[in-house]
Chains A and B, each alone.
Chain A
Amino acid sequence: MNSVFVDAFRCEWLKRRRSLGAWLVAVGAFFTPAIITVVRLIRHATLPQLYADPLFWTLHWRNAWESMAIFFVPMAAILATSLVVQIEVRNNAWKQVHALPLHTATIFFAKFAVILLMLAQFFVLFVLGIYLSALLPALLVGGVAFPPAPPLRVFLADTALYYLDCLPIVAAQYLLSLRFNNFLVPIGIGFLAWIAALSALSWQYANLVPYAYTMLDFLKDNPDARRAVVSSGMHALAAAWSVLFVAAGYVGFATKAQKG
């Protein structure tokens, strides 16, 4: 990797220190596992039966991902992306960034890479949170069997696909955040796009909606879900949308008449 890009990336990574986006990643990732833990501690009478179930990890995993795939992952992608870009706008710093001896592509992709890494951090912390939310009730409530070792490989593969599924949202939000200085515009459009995707889940072409993939991915194994048939190429479509949005975002960024 180009050493200039590494320096630019390290510079961008430092900017997110103590920022709202960095806090969102940490707090957001542990929110659902914390709720699950609290609910289980409140309903501790049902725990022995739950923890004795041979499908404990499958149930626990799906339980944890339900709110994440439908709500928290799209929201985290929308908010984290907008917040990272907003660091430059709020501090009136784009003009300094563009006056640095860096190519436009380096500036664009270094920041995008930081957003991607933050999101990866979000997913890793969430998986860690899922694991802890399974262990803590067993440790704190007496008479509950300790869960067996989790099927890590399956979990990691699932997580990687969810990560891929949310990339179109990240790329689209990056494009919007770079285009509009007003923080509310990308957040508002992102929120509306998420509602539209939610409404489109039962549409036969739902797999063409860029904000719908994490939801479709979660619902694909749920026979009761109100959703249309999902094509097997869903992840490829997510990747294609991501590439398209990143390319459009870069063209818009590079050809801006006024930089900062």
Chain B
Amino acid sequence: MLCLETTDLCHRYSAGEAVLHDIALAVPHASIYGFLGPNGAGKTTTLRLLLGLIRKQRGTISIFGRHLDEHRVEILRQVGSLIETPSLYEHLTAAENLALLQRIHRVPAARIAEVLERVGLAATRDKRAGQFSLGMKQRLGIAAAMLHRPALLILDEPTNGLDPNGIIEMRDLLIALNREEGTTVLVSSHLLAEVERLVSHVGIVHRGRLLFQGTLDALRRESQSAAHVSLHTADDGHALRLLADAGVPARCGSAGLVLPAMPPPHIAAINRRLVEQGVEVYAIGAQGGDLESIFMNLIGSRAA
């Protein structure tokens, strides 16, 4: 069952080039969906459209099975969001910033202390947000987004400004929210490695087009098929002939020779054979078997 679904979502800023082309997101209920893409890929524009912050030009947006156009207010009651930098009133304290939202969402006042505790800001509840570091502001932004126990959290690069420890804490918090409260989390990032241990589903967007969408396991399977061995020698032509004689299908790549993926002992054997035949091996190793490589491969080749 889908929590959020878009079809044919397109957007163009005034008189400019289209920034989104037929985006069809399918975010399953109770999933953690990583919305990935390099800077300028269209992630924030998509998330802004999902919240109604930009007027939709084409396509449909459906959240909790209802169209955003017709049920915007009812939908937003169950959505928490953090888009780009946190929206905090710097002249107000952390607790006052949350009190504003507590009134609108009509949650008990005790919930303020609860979420501050959860994001590690309990000790600074009476400190003005203007005196917060970027990381603390980000945490307060997350606290604001989760104050009313939303069924869907939409977070745009929530780890911006966080130190490595903060990133781990944020990841644990989102996983806990997902597992304990069944919250669906849609989180954008430009770094796959950052969300790799967090997400269950992935959507990869580049230049406004959705290049991949599916489970993280499906992406991993794709990454396996893209794995290869790269070889860089003093004489690639000679090496290519020796490999052909040995029955290893190799080809010339942009930075040396490219061989099919193989187990480490086979790589060692090829290295040994080349050295024995007088070929100087500068570098040899497995490449492209990790998610980051498939991500880079996707945005580098499919969008071209």
- By a beta-carbon cutoff of 8 Å, the part of chain A in contact with chain B is 7-8, 10-11, 14-15, 17-19, 87, 90-103, 257-260
With both beta carbons as reference points, the residue of chain A lying nearest to B78 in the complex is identified as A101
Complexed CA–CA distance, A258 and B83 (Å): 14
Complexed CA–CA distance, A18 and B79 (Å): 30
B144→A102 contact, CB < 8 A: no
Question: How many residue-residue contacts, CB under 8 A, span A and B?
Answer: 80
The 6 closest A-B pairs by CB, nearest first: A96-B87, A93-B87, A101-B76, A101-B77, A99-B51, A11-B100
Complexed CA–CA distance, A10 and B106 (Å): 12
B85→A99 contact, CB < 8 A: no
A95→B100 contact, CB < 8 A: no
B87→A95 contact, CB < 8 A: yes
Contact of B103 among A10, A17, A258 (CB under 8 A): A10
Complexed CA–CA distance, A95 and B85 (Å): 10
> Which chain A residues border B99 with CB–CB below 8 Å?
14
B92→A99 contact, CB < 8 A: no
Complexed CA–CA distance, A91 and B76 (Å): 21
Complexed CA–CA distance, A260 and B81 (Å): 13
List 20 contacting pairs A-B, 8 Å CB cutoff, sorted by A.
Answer: A10-B103, A11-B103, A15-B89, A15-B92, A17-B96, A18-B92, A91-B88, A92-B85, A93-B87, A95-B83, A95-B84, A98-B53, A99-B51, A99-B76, A99-B83, A100-B76, A101-B76, A101-B77, A103-B73, A257-B54
Complexed CA–CA distance, A15 and B76 (Å): 21
With both beta carbons as reference points, the residue of chain B lying nearest to A12 in the complex is identified as B100
> Which chain B residues border A18 with CB–CB below 8 Å?
91-92
Contact of B92 among A8, A14, A257 (CB under 8 A): A14
Asked whether any CB of chain A lies closer than 8 Å to the CB of B55, the reply is: yes
Instruction: List B250-268 residues whose CB lies under 8 Å from chain A.
Output: none
CB distance from A93 to the nearest CB of B (A): 4
Asked whether any CB of chain A lies closer than 8 Å to the CB of B59, the reply is: no
Complexed CA–CA distance, A102 and B103 (Å): 12
Asked whether any CB of chain A lies closer than 8 Å to the CB of B101, the reply is: yes
